[in-house]
Amino acid sequence: MKDFSNKVAVITGGASGFGKEFAHIAADLGMKLVLADVQEDALDATVAEFKARNVPVIGLRTDVSRADQVQALADAAIEAFGQVNLLFNNAGVGAGGLIWENSEKDWEWVLGVNLYGVVHGVRIFTPLMLAAAEKDPAYQGHIVNTASMAGLLNPPAMGVYNVSKHAVVALTETLYQDLGLVTEQVRCSVLCPYFVPTGINQSQRNRPADLANQAPPTRSQLVSQALSDKAVGSGKVTAAEVAQLTFDAIRDESFYIYSHPQALAPVRQRFEDIVGQRNPGDPFADKPEVRAGLVAALRG
């Protein structure tokens, strides 16, 4: 997609982090906005901000884990603006701890948002885009699914999150191949950010009450939360910079989008281990002090 003016962007997780920065760039490019977020007060404030700039925008509180609510989002987009050109399946949450300590509710919450949110977005919006392409040879569409470097690596004490993001990478790679069989007018990309200050480490604030754990967090979950707070909070690459990289990739029809290309070295090592039939390598090989601290914290 080269021309964004007057096109329509649908953004989940649109009231903060990457989503809000996607919206800012889209608005600057002359796009119409359909913003979705589960946090209604933040969504209302973001919509008001864009309306004050005279940007055509609507907002809809959406729990992306619910297929009916994603369908309602699509219906609202079509009713308001007639079509969708750019879809950001961006909403995401995080949870950590040793993988056997994650509760069934942890899995249901994280997979519901991180994976099923993308599944619902792809399943519901892609047919709309393909129908628009069939009607108009000039139509261009693009889908961006937000995964993570945790979708290419498997750091410890992040199991439920790793699983969700690996699934998003696999889903999006398959979507790329499937789209290539039927159209040249709709493309897709997968965004794999590293540690970027977006607020995802505080996503428990929006966890539904019916999926809350009754038991207090385990030692490993507390340690994981502290590490996440430190890593995300100290990130030097901003969400705005990642959003710009994402729009550059959309223009260039690039599939993989990385916030930290230098973090690909362990990805290469992982795939070399797989091909070489070696046991998984130490993710802290270049920072043994981090591993020592983690072991000490977990073993008490």
| CATH number of the structural domain spanning residue 227 | 3.40.50.720
Q: Which domain holds residue 179?
A: 8-299
pLDDT at residue number 19: 97
Q: Is residue 98 part of a domain?
A: yes
The reported pTM is 0.95
Question: Across residues 175-182, what is the average pLDDT?
Answer: 98
Predicted confidence band of residue 258 (pLDDT cuts 50, 70, 90): very high
> Dihedrals φ, ψ of 12, to 5°?
-90, 155
Question: Does residue 259 contact residue 194 with C-beta atoms inside 8 Å?
Answer: yes
Domain count, the chain: 1
Q: Is residue 122 part of a domain?
A: yes
Tokens of 16: 């903060």
CA 61, 115, 280 angle in degrees (round to 5)? 145
Least confident interval from 89-98, 118-127, 174-183, 288-297: 288-297
Q: Is residue 181 part of a domain?
A: yes
For residue 158, the 8-state DSSP code is B
Predicted confidence band of residue 300 (pLDDT cuts 50, 70, 90): confident
| Tens of pLDDT, residues 72-112 | 999 999 999 999 999 999 999 999 999 999 999 999 999 99
Distance CA 69, CA 53 (A): 27
Least confident interval from 18-32, 235-249, 283-297: 283-297
Q: Is residue 15 part of a domain?
A: yes
Q: Is 27 helix (H, G, I), strand (E, B) or coil?
A: helix
List, by residue number, the catalytic residues: 161
Q: Give one word for 295, left, alpha or beta, with left for phi > 0 and alpha for psi -120 to 50.
A: alpha
| Confidence check: pLDDT of 201 > 80 | no
Q: Is residue 254 part of a domain?
A: yes
Q: Is residue 192 part of a domain?
A: yes
Tokens of 299: 């073993």
| Confidence check: pLDDT of 233 > 80 | no
Q: Is residue 1 part of a domain?
A: no
Distance CA 300, CA 288 (A): 18
pLDDT at residue number 263: 87
Torsion angle in degrees (nearest 10) through CA of 244, 283, 161, 227:
-80
How far is C-alpha 286 from the chain's CA centre?
28
Q: What percent of the chain has pLDDT over 90?
A: 84
| Confidence check: pLDDT of 22 > 80 | yes
Tokens of 135: 């009607």
| Confidence check: pLDDT of 203 > 90 | no
Predicted confidence band of residue 160 (pLDDT cuts 50, 70, 90): very high
Q: Is residue 2 part of a domain?
A: no
Provide DSSP, 280-300: PPPTTTT-HHHHHHHHHHHH-
pLDDT at residue number 266: 92
